[in-house]
A = this chain, B = another copy of it.
Amino acid sequence: MASRSIRLAIIPGDGIGPEVVAEGLKVLDAVAPSSGLAFERTSYDLGAARWHRTGETLPDSVLDELRGQDVILLGAVGDPSVPSGTLERGLLLRARFELDHYVNLRPVKLFPGVATPLAGVTPGDIDMVVVREGTEGPYTGVGGVVRKGTPQEVATQESVNTAFGVERVVRYAFEVAASRPRKKLTLVHKDNVLTFAGDLYQRVVKRVGEEYPQVTTDYCHVDAATMFFVNQPGRFDVVVTDNLFGDIITDIGAAIAGGIGLAASGNVNPDRTAPSMFEPVHGSAPDIAGQGKADPTATILSVAMLLDHVGAADAARRVEAAVSDDLAERAALGARSTAQIGDAIAKRVSG
């Protein structure tokens, strides 16, 4: 069958990034041909090493090249040798903002066979999707410092929220909710304290919700939401929330669904004015880098999300099923290396 060509940018990054990305690509290679897909790959050397060498995080020229790609797969960036925030703001967040990744999509799903730290919880109890806003809120970088280093220092951070930005992510979240069996959307915010931003989110959810009468909506303060993630995770189906709250609750989501080694994410530009970027939620974990200890599952599940995004839903379902089957047997298999897990999943996908 004739294959459809997709330009794939790869940013392996630092630490365990290259190791997990290698396994993600292995699985992609296993699933692509029979799905009629051919990925034209370009790898970009970005991250701590490049910053040390050149002082660059995400140069304009590379950003321009990325714009010409169809989709991006990122491993992880960051290293203790680089000042905190340098790569996060200069590379990761810059990519999310410049490529207008206004939806940060993070499924929280407990697969059968996976151990959760929660007592008495079964897979059916944890199955939600967090739709995190990706281009606004406290992540804008707006703010500053005066009288730095003096007893009179003042440091500010500003959360910027626009009707434009809130509406587009809320609308996306309603679409996701409408496509799921439970059709429930929960707004998570802190509207009793962050009254201006919270009120904007509330009004937009109410207004857009009128177009989705089939979707039930409710509201939960972020502090209560974190508690419910731990003691009543079944309350949630689809969650929509701002950039910072989404960052926080998706880490609890990862924890309850079996750990950061399994949490996938997509930085999505639903309007397709620029390529979307898929990445595991975990960081570069320099402490275990190069030892074959990293779990590539989050990256492989991110590859499944990437396949969905490029319209290859069948291939995405096959990758997910292979991961699910692997996870179900994992406890019985004992310790495996990063590559062994990737091999096993790739084999299931091909077989």
A residues near B, CB below 8 A?
78, 84-85, 88-89, 93, 116-120, 138-139, 141, 143-145, 147, 149-164, 167, 190-200, 202-203, 222-224, 226-227, 229-231, 244, 247-252, 254-256, 259-260
* A192 near B259: Cβ-Cβ < 8 Å: no
Nearest CB in chain B: distance from A208 CB, A: 13
Residue among A156, A158, A193, A259 having the largest count of chain B Cβ atoms under 10 Å:
A193
Known: A85-B198, A89-B192, A192-B88. A159 touches B161 (CB 8 A): no
Nearest CB in chain B: distance from A83 CB, A: 9
From the candidates B78, B138, B194, B229, name the one contacting A194 in the complex (CB within 8 A). Answer: B138
Number of copies of this chain in the oligomer?
2
Known: A158-B158, A163-B150, A227-B254. A85 touches B192 (CB 8 A): yes
Q: Which residues of B contact A89 (CB under 8 A)?
A: 192-193, 195
Q: Which residues of B contact A85 (CB under 8 A)?
A: 191-193, 195, 198
* B226 near A251: Cβ-Cβ < 8 Å: yes
Nearest CB in chain B: distance from A257 CB, A: 11
Nearest CB in chain B: distance from A300 CB, A: 21
Q: Which residues of B contact A78 (CB under 8 A)?
A: 192
Question: What are 5 residue pairs bridging A and B, where the CB atoms are less than 8 Å apart in the complex?
Answer: A84-B191, A84-B195, A190-B247, A222-B248, A226-B249
Q: Which residues of B contact A249 (CB under 8 A)?
A: 226
Q: How far is the CA of A226 from the CA of B157 in the complex (A)?
A: 21
Nearest CB in chain B: distance from A104 CB, A: 12
From the candidates B152, B167, B194, B255, name the one contacting A226 in the complex (CB within 8 A). Answer: B255
* A155 near B254: Cβ-Cβ < 8 Å: no
Nearest CB in chain B: distance from A253 CB, A: 9
Q: Which residues of B contact A227 (CB under 8 A)?
A: 251-252, 254-255, 260
Closest to A230 in B: B255
Q: Which residues of B contact A159 (CB under 8 A)?
A: 138, 143, 156-159
* A231 near B248: Cβ-Cβ < 8 Å: no
* B252 near A139: Cβ-Cβ < 8 Å: no
* B156 near A163: Cβ-Cβ < 8 Å: no
* B230 near A157: Cβ-Cβ < 8 Å: no
Q: Which residues of B contact A167 (CB under 8 A)?
A: 151
Q: Which residues of B contact A223 (CB under 8 A)?
A: 247-248, 250-251
* B231 near A259: Cβ-Cβ < 8 Å: yes
Closest to A141 in B: B195
Q: How far is the CA of A164 from the CA of B145 in the complex (A)?
A: 14
Known: A118-B117, A191-B85, A255-B231. A156 touches B161 (CB 8 A): yes
* B149 near A203: Cβ-Cβ < 8 Å: yes
* B164 near A151: Cβ-Cβ < 8 Å: yes
Nearest CB in chain B: distance from A153 CB, A: 4
Please provide the 3 A-B residue pairs with the shortest distance between their CB atoms, ordered closest to farther: A153-B163, A223-B251, A155-B196
Q: Which residues of B contact A256 (CB under 8 A)?
A: 230
Q: How far is the CA of A132 from the CA of B151 in the complex (A)?
A: 21
Q: How far is the CA of A200 from the CA of B259 in the complex (A)?
A: 31
Q: Which residues of B contact A255 (CB under 8 A)?
A: 226-227, 230-231
Q: Which residues of B contact A247 (CB under 8 A)?
A: 190, 193, 222-223
Q: How far is the CA of A196 from the CA of B148 in the complex (A)?
A: 10
Q: Which residues of B contact A192 (CB under 8 A)?
A: 78, 84-85, 88-89
Known: A152-B163, A154-B161, A227-B252. A145 touches B200 (CB 8 A): yes
